[in-house]
């Protein structure tokens, strides 16, 4: 019988030798560069390549992180959807500054964004809500996200009540407590792992705090020490 040996974490490391990121190969604006890396991530076998870490802070400046799904990006910024009464939403109401991290480390890549969050329009939230599977729509109604509940049965019975309210063929209403956020970027950093930890880091910083992602003139590019 062989016993499972826990790995010695000090010895767990990957060598990053799959490419590089140079100024000459970088797009002139963060949107074009992000789109190229997004296409590579989407074509790879990374599960849920649109999963990103969202960091927010509470009123006392204490950070929290969680995964959310990127549901769109364009010259305005990066869009995700959530419950407007959730912990993250309460935090963004107090302090809209957030950070995103795309953990594409199987490609030896990472993109990090700092920026300012704002709600998207009701029409944009509605359009996405209507595109979701019905089960997800009902779950958005059933979940008072981030609240303590006594047990799972509470959640499931709420779901069943809602399924009866909107039976097959009847479209659920769009909850007014649910919708999207747009993260308008202040910085977008592209990281590529290199041998011996001499990684490439190229960071776009918006000249005026925030800027349209597709306007090269509005961004300053700097190389950052790894």
Ligand X SMILES: Cc1cc2nc3c(=O)[nH]c(=O)nc-3n(C[C@H](O)[C@H](O)[C@H](O)COP(=O)(O)O)c2cc1C
Question: Which residues are annotated as catalytic?
Answer: 197
Q: Closest by alpha carbon to 183, among 119, 127, 101?
A: 119
Q: Which of 20, 55, 66, 72 binds ligand X (CB under 6 A)?
A: 66
Torsion of CA 115, 117, 118, 123, to 10 degrees: 100
Q: Which of 22, 44, 48, 198 binds ligand X (CB under 6 A)?
A: 48
Query: Which residue stretch of 65-73, 107-115, 199-207, 210-218 sits at the interface with ligand X (rule: CB under 6 A)?
Result: 65-73
Q: Residue 179 in contact with residue 120, Cβ under 8 Å?
A: yes
Provide φ and ψ at 87, rounded to 5°: -55, -45
Report in angstroms how near the CB of residue 52 gets to ligand X at its nearest: 9
**Which residue carries 């790995």 as its tokens?**
7
Q: Is 18 left (phi over 0), alpha (psi -120 to 50) or beta?
A: alpha
| Beta bridge partners of residue 56, listed in sequence order | 64
Q: x/- site string to ligand X, residues 80 to 119, per CB under 6 A?
A: xxxx--xxx-------------------------------
Q: Which of 68, 116, 155, 212 binds ligand X (CB under 6 A)?
A: 68
Report in angstroms how near the CB of residue 100 gets to ligand X at its nearest: 12
Q: What is the CA radius of gyration of the chain?
A: 20
Q: Residue 53 in contact with residue 98, Cβ under 8 Å?
A: no
Q: Residue 184 in contact with residue 116, Cβ under 8 Å?
A: yes
Q: Which of 18, 36, 145, 210 binds ligand X (CB under 6 A)?
A: 145
Report in angstroms how near the CB of residue 222 gets to ligand X at its nearest: 31
- The yes or no reply on residue 36 touching ligand X (CB under 6 A) is no
- The yes or no reply on residue 146 touching ligand X (CB under 6 A) is yes
Q: Between residues 87 and 119, which has the closer beta carbon with respect to ligand X?
A: 87
Q: Between residues 88 and 199, which has the closer beta carbon with respect to ligand X?
A: 88
- The yes or no reply on residue 67 touching ligand X (CB under 6 A) is yes
Q: Between residues 111 and 211, which has the closer beta carbon with respect to ligand X?
A: 111
- The yes or no reply on residue 178 touching ligand X (CB under 6 A) is no
Report in angstroms how near the CB of residue 27 gets to ligand X at its nearest: 27
The two tokens of residue 21 are: 């990121």
Residues in touch with ligand X (CB under 6 A): 48, 51, 64, 66-69, 80-83, 86-88, 145-146
């Amino acid at each position: 019988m062989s016993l499972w040996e826990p790995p010695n974490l000090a010895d767990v490391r990957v060598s990053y030798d799959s490419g590089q990121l140079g100024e000459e190969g970088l797009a002139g604006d963060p949107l074009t560069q992000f789109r190229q890396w997004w296409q590579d991530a989407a074509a790879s076998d990374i599960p849920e390549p649109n999963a990103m870490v969202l960091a927010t802070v509470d009123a006392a400046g204490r950070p929290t992180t969680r995964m959310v799904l990127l549901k769109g990006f364009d010259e305005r910024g990066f869009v995700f959807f959530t419950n407007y009464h959730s912990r993250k939403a309460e935090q963004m109401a107090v302090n809209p500054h957030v950070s995103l991290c795309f953990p594409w480390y199987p490609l030896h890549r990472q993109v990090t964004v700092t920026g300012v969050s704002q709600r998207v329009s009701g029409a944009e939230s509605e359009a996405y809500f209507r595109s979701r599977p019905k089960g997800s729509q009902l779950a958005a109604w059933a979940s008072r996200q981030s609240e303590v509940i006594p047990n799972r049965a509470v959640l499931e019975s709420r779901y069943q009540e809602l399924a009866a309210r909107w039976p097959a063929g009847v479209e659920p209403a769009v909850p007014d407590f649910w919708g999207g956020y747009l993260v308008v970027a202040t910085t977008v950093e592209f990281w590529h792992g290199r041998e011996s930890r001499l990684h490439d880091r190229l960071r776009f910083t918006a000249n005026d705090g925030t800027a349209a992602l597709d306007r090269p003139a509005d961004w300053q590019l700097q190389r950052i020490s790894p």
